[in-house]
Structure formats: C-alpha cells, structure tokens
Structure 1
Amino acid sequence: MKYRHQLGQLINSEEFLQYVNTLRPDSKDVALQVQDLISNARFWEKVSHYLKVIEPLVLILRMVHGDDKNDMGYLYKTIDKAREKLRERNPKAYRKWWAIIDKRWEMTLHHDLHAAGYFFNPRIQYKGNVHNDGEVMRGTMHVITRLARTMNERLDAVTEIG
C-alpha cells in the first residue's frame, strides 16, 4: 500500500509500455494482466483488507521465529492481543482466523514453559492480574513441579510466588 501510487506510475510509464512490447506474446499477456490488476481499485481494497487482517499474525510470527528469545514471556499476551485485533478488524470472519491461530498455538506454541515465562515476566507480574489466569498458573505450577527436585523445594517455590 505504501508504494501503490509509484507502482501505478511505473506500469503506466512509457518505459514500461516499451518494455512490454519487446516481450514474447505469452509474457506480454502476463505483463498486461499485471497492469490491469494493479490498476484495479477492487484489488487494492482487498490488499488493504488482508494487510489489516494479517498484521497481528505477522507480529506473532516475528516474535516466535525471531532471534530474541526474551520474548517468551510476552507470547501469551501477544496471542491474546492478535486475536482481539483480528476480531476488531474483521468482525464478520474473525472466527476462521482464530481457528488458524488456535490450531498453531495448540500444535507448536502452547507449552507450560511459555506460561511460566509469562508469569515470571516482571512487567506482567507487577500489574497484579497474572494470578487470575488459571491456564498461566497451571502451566507455571507444572514447570515448578518439573524443576524442583524435592517436595520442600516445590512448597518453597509455590509459597514464594503465592
């Protein structure tokens, strides 16, 4: 969308039209189809719509596949925010996007360690509402259970976070 105007100028420029005329017939047909598509207002409406829809998903992908592993503590909140943005931006069809997110979340990202990372994130911890999320607390307790070697260590850890 950022370069829509410039792209329109390019495909209508004398240089582009001269170049198209030098192409083989099948390539020329493709170039003219691209020109028609770029000139089509409906195409740009759809591009705008889908950019709004996928922006929250791209933010999640950047976080999950990025090099900064410190983001683990923010993943839960980012998923929730992305789902809400999708509902706001696409109220008629957000459920199909939610299904895609939820499927990927359950298959690859939904781990107790992410819940614990969210729970122990200082920015979230001091907001005071992290203890109200049952899923986050269960995941955190599972991590503590796995990491603490003795029952006393588990009790100490639970007492410390309680």
Structure 2
Amino acid sequence: MRERCGRDIVRPGATRFATNYIALSSLLKHKQGLRELFASHDYVEWKKRLTKVTYRIEEPVLGNSFWDKVRGVVGIIEPIYVVLRMVDNETNPSMGSLYPSIQLMKEAIMVKAPNAYKWVHAIIDDRWERMLSHPLHQAAYFLNPKYHYSRNLFEDNSLKRVVHEVYDHLFPDCPGKGTFGSEIVKFRNTVGMFECHPAVKSRNAMMPCESL
C-alpha cells in the first residue's frame, strides 16, 4: 500500500476534531493507489486474500458505490471543516470572520451536495441559533476592513443597527456616545485614524474617499 499510495492512510484519532472527515478525505485522495493495489499481480497471487474479510475490503475499493458515498460525505463536511479550523486557530482572531464564513460554508455545501444541502443547512441553522448566533459576530463582521469596503457593508442598515445596539450595550454611559455615529461614517470614508489599516490603504489605492 505504501508503494502504491506513497504513504499510510490517515486513520481517525481519539482527540482531534473532524477525524472521520480527515480519514475519508485521505481515502479519497489515495483512491487510485488503493485500486492499483487490489488489482496488482502481488495481491492477486496472495493466497491469504481468499477470505471473507479481504473480499469485504476489496469489493468496495474496486467498485464505484463506496467512492460515490465517500465523495458525497467529504463534499458536505469539507466546508464545515474549513470553518472549524478557522475557529480553532489560536493565532488569528476569528470573531470578525465567523459570520460571513458561515454563509460561505452554506453556499459551498449547496454546490457540492445539491441533493443533501437542505437537511445539512437545517442542522447548521439550528446549531447556529442555539449556540453561536450573537450580535457581536455581525458587529465584528461590519467593522472588519477585510469585508467592510469590498462588500460595501455601510449600506446594510440591519448591520449598522446591530453595531449601534452592541455599542449601547457595552458602553451605556459613555460620554462620547453621541459621536459614535459620526465615527462609523469616518470609518466608512477611511479618514482620520482609520486611514492606517492595510485593508484601508488597499481600498484607497483603488478609489478615492467618499464625502458625506
């Protein structure tokens, strides 16, 4: 197997998340090598292969049904795995990227699993609403320069309203509360202290700052 596949097949672990996905993805990656193994002269001439156990392994590897199912499962879980890795990252904060990442994840599942995405979306939506959904995610998304300028989020009144609600909740007695709206406008127009962010500089290189 190592000669045909170039390495071992990754097996599910006891402590890492998404281990079933990792194992199935590894199998799919080495599909051709595994098929070559079971069709090789050495395997055909191997006397111990004539058992029920080896046949139960050989049959799905050389057939198509098993691989179709593996491909379907990987197509569903892969976008979820990408988001899980992003959230599990201890180096880069994910708060400002989680909200759009969930939307992109659902879109990817719809494309990769057109026959299954509805029930998968139902599970994701249920988990999001019960455990993850919070105004902070939307506010952080709105204030993330990576998305704010490229997607023109300033025009999304629902997101602006959430930002104001979060600010009111966190700083109910702040003396500068009356100027918060104008600070958001400065952020949108990339003026003052908001000019220094790399994403802002990139945006300003392509288009001039808009006036009120």
Normalising by the smaller structure, the TM-score range is: 0.7 to 0.9
Q: Which has the higher contact order (CA 8 A, sep 6+)?
A: 1
Assess, with a 3 A threshold, how the Cα gap between structure 1 residues 152 and 17 changes in structure 2: closer, same or farther.
Answer: farther
Between the aligned partners of 1:135 and 1:32, the Cα distance in structure 2 is 59
The one-letter code matched in structure 2 to 1:103 is: D
Q: Deviations over 1:62-118 (max 9, x none)?
A: 112222342221111111111122222333332111111111211222122211211
Corresponding residue to 2:133 among 103, 107, 110:
110
Partner of 2:111: 88
The one-letter code matched in structure 2 to 1:8 is: R
Q: Is the 8 A contact 1:115 1:136 kept in 2?
A: yes
Assess, with a 3 A threshold, how the Cα gap between structure 1 residues 122 and 45 changes in structure 2: closer, same or farther.
Answer: same
Q: Deviations over 1:15-73 (max 9, x none)?
A: 6974x829xxxxx5333212211111121122222222222111111112222342221
Q: Is the 8 A contact 1:72 1:117 kept in 2?
A: yes
Between the aligned partners of 2:108 and 2:143, the Cα distance in structure 1 is 25
Cα RMSD for the two superposed structures: 2.7
TM-score, structure 2 normalization: 0.62
Partner of 1:5: 32
Uncovered stretches (5+) of structure 2, i.e. residues with no partner: 1-27, 186-212
Percentage of identical aligned residues: 31
Higher helix proportion (structure 1 or 2): 1
Between the aligned partners of 1:91 and 1:150, the Cα distance in structure 2 is 50
- How many residues align? The count is 157
TM-score, structure 1 normalization: 0.79
Uncovered stretches (5+) of structure 1, i.e. residues with no partner: 23-27
